[in-house]
Structure 1
Amino acid sequence: MPARDLALLVEAAKAAGEVVAPFWRHAPEHWDKPDAQGPVSEADLAVDACLRDILLSARPDYGWISEESVDERDGAAERNRSFIIDPIDGTRSFLEGARTFAHSLAIAENGRIIAGVVFLPMHDRMFQAAKGGGAFLNETPLRAGAHMGMDGADILAARPTLAAENWDTPAPAANRHYRASLAYRMALVAQGRFDAMITLRPTWFWDIAAGTLIAEEAGAEVRNAFGDHVDFADTDPRAAGIVVANPTLRADIHARLSPTGLSSRLAIQ
């Protein structure tokens, strides 16, 4: 079943790329969401509608969790399998005309991801994974890097992440890099282009669901900032931060993070 579900996600992601293309660099209408949740555009909504039509037509018994729409069908909360969708991950970058936005599509079964796709339509890069089947970029197998510790590691993170107050030891001597899309950051770690990604803020499931499986199938570990697995069946669709790296590096990151700093930074209201 994961392989068939993955094929469906790949098909839907390609369709999403066709929907988004006419909006890219053509000044789509956009506005800010309430509570400082960032921008949303007419392109986000068009892609969401496209994905919802394709995916729920094919799997009407699956639940629906999306950044841009809610599942109002009877019994939605009790479904064992659910789509977890970010129509455009990196909307702000999309609106600025950057190429590194992504469509992030995943399927969760009883809280664990069994199929996931991160598609960058402007680069034609399809990161994909099915549970137990490995991770791929288009047809190329992915393998996470083998860097052993934080010092000297290439880490995808926002600037405040490596600030001294977040770490029990002096701030790690890592090389910081940044990409706007969380899903793409996770895929880049799976590809081995970067050693780790870290975010120390509450993180929506739709930003990380697909990337979680892709990274895990490439040999990385994915945990929240406290070192726990993310339960994608939780009624609050947010993780307490996220850390992605090979097992040795991931353990070093968690050994050096400050519990005191995390508790204040990651309080989820």
Structure 2
Amino acid sequence: MPARDLQLLLDAAQEAGRIAMRFTGPKAETWHKPDGAGPVTEADLAVNNMLEATLRGERPDYGWLSEESSDGPERQDAERAFIIDPIDGTRSFIDGSSTWAHSLAIAEHGQVTAAVVYLPMRDKIYAAALGSGATMNGVPITATDQEKMTDASVLAARPVMHSDFWRDKAPAFNLGYRPSLAYRLALVAQGRFDAMLTLRPTWEWDIAAGDLILREAGAAVSDRMAQPLVFNKPDPRLNGVVAGGAPLHRRICDALAPVDPL
């Protein structure tokens, strides 16, 4: 089933890219969601409408969780669920940058079993099915085996380096950044960076696809409390995310200041 689901996601992601690229980011109609939830464009909605029609048409018994769809309790009754971010990095899309992505995943009983992260402007498609490894453009990828925090290349926003977030002082990471969380996760899976972390509450649709791609690339992934990530929860938020090779992941989690979970 994960292999069949993966092909479905691959086909849908490529069609999503064709739709999104019909819009020019800076010229796409844009408005802001209520309660400071960020911008959305006509491209986000066009992609979301296609994905919902296509994916649910092929798997009508699967639940549906998407950033751009109304959420309801019915997905909790489904054995499997789609977890979708039609365009991850909408601000990047609006700015005309190339670092936005389509993030598509399927979760079964809380665990992601098939996943795709596609960056059409960069011609990069990351994919994984449970137990089958992870690939970028069809070529197997593997996370790094970096063990030391000093000089580790880490994708994170600068605020996470504030001393309040760490038991001692912040580690001497080589810090990098990409606006799309899905792309950050994929880059760690590819071995381009050693780790990534975000310490704020994070929506499942930003993380689900990258979670499986990372795990299939040999990385460890957890929330900021070192707890496993569980998906398709009634409240679809995660308590931050830490990802990297297993030794480095453990060291980062151990160095973070303890906080209460969500």
Fold equivalence (TM over 0.5): yes
| TM-score for both structures, normalised by structure 1 | 0.95
Aligned to 1:258: 257
Q: Which amino acid aligns with 1:41?
A: T
Q: Which amino acid aligns with 2:97?
A: A
**What CA deviation, in whole Å up to 9, does each residue of 1:106-131 have, x standing for no partner?**
00000000000000011111100000
User: Structure 1 residues 239 and 71 mapped into 2: Cα distance closer, same or farther (>3 Å)?
Assistant: closer
- The 1-side partners of 2:122 and 2:230 are apart by 31
Gaps of 5+ in 2: none
State the 1:25 CA deviation. Answer: 3.5
SS of 1:227's equivalent?
coil
- The 1-side partners of 2:230 and 2:105 are apart by 14
Aligned to 2:194: 195
State the 1:75 CA deviation. Answer: 4.1
Q: Which amino acid aligns with 2:107?
A: A
Contact 1:226 1:254 in 2 (8 A): yes
Aligned to 2:99: 100
State the 1:26 CA deviation. Answer: 5.2
Aligned to 1:131: 130
Aligned to 2:51: 51
Aligned to 1:29: 29
- The 2-side partners of 1:4 and 1:90 are apart by 28
Aligned to 1:16: 16
State the 1:32 CA deviation. Answer: 1.1
- The 2-side partners of 1:233 and 1:13 are apart by 20
Aligned to 2:177: 178
**What CA deviation, in whole Å up to 9, does each residue of 1:134-171 have, x standing for no partner?**
00001110100111021110000000111111111211
Aligned to 2:212: 213
**What CA deviation, in whole Å up to 9, does each residue of 1:189-221 have, x standing for no partner?**
000000000000000000000000000000001
Contact 2:63 2:81 in 1 (8 A): yes
| Alignment coverage as a number of residue pairs | 262
Contact 1:191 1:218 in 2 (8 A): yes
- The 2-side partners of 1:156 and 1:107 are apart by 25
- The 2-side partners of 1:71 and 1:214 are apart by 25
Q: Which amino acid aligns with 2:114?
A: A
State the 1:98 CA deviation. Answer: 0.3
- The 1-side partners of 2:25 and 2:88 are apart by 16
SS of 2:226's equivalent?
coil
Contact 1:195 1:245 in 2 (8 A): yes
User: Deviation above 2 Å: which 4+ runs of structure 1?
Assistant: 74-77
- The 1-side partners of 2:138 and 2:118 are apart by 13
Q: Which amino acid aligns with 2:215?
A: E
Aligned to 2:90: 91
Contact 2:154 2:173 in 1 (8 A): yes
Contact 2:81 2:232 in 1 (8 A): no
- The 2-side partners of 1:121 and 1:48 are apart by 16
- The 1-side partners of 2:53 and 2:71 are apart by 13
SS of 1:200's equivalent?
strand
Contact 2:165 2:257 in 1 (8 A): yes
Aligned positions of 1:117-128 closer than 5 A = 117-128=116-127
Aligned to 2:2: 2
State the 1:71 CA deviation. Answer: 5.4
State the 1:34 CA deviation. Answer: 1.6
Q: Which amino acid aligns with 1:193?
A: R
What's the % identity of the aligned pairs? 53
State the 1:12 CA deviation. Answer: 0.1
**What CA deviation, in whole Å up to 9, does each residue of 1:75-131 have, x standing for no partner?**
432001000000000000000000010000000000000000000011111100000
Aligned CA RMSD, in angstroms, stands at: 1.3
| TM-score for both structures, normalised by structure 2 | 0.97
Gaps of 5+ in 1: none
Q: Which amino acid aligns with 1:27?
A: K
Is 1:169 paired with 2:168? Answer: yes
Q: Which amino acid aligns with 1:78?
A: D
Contact 1:64 1:70 in 2 (8 A): no
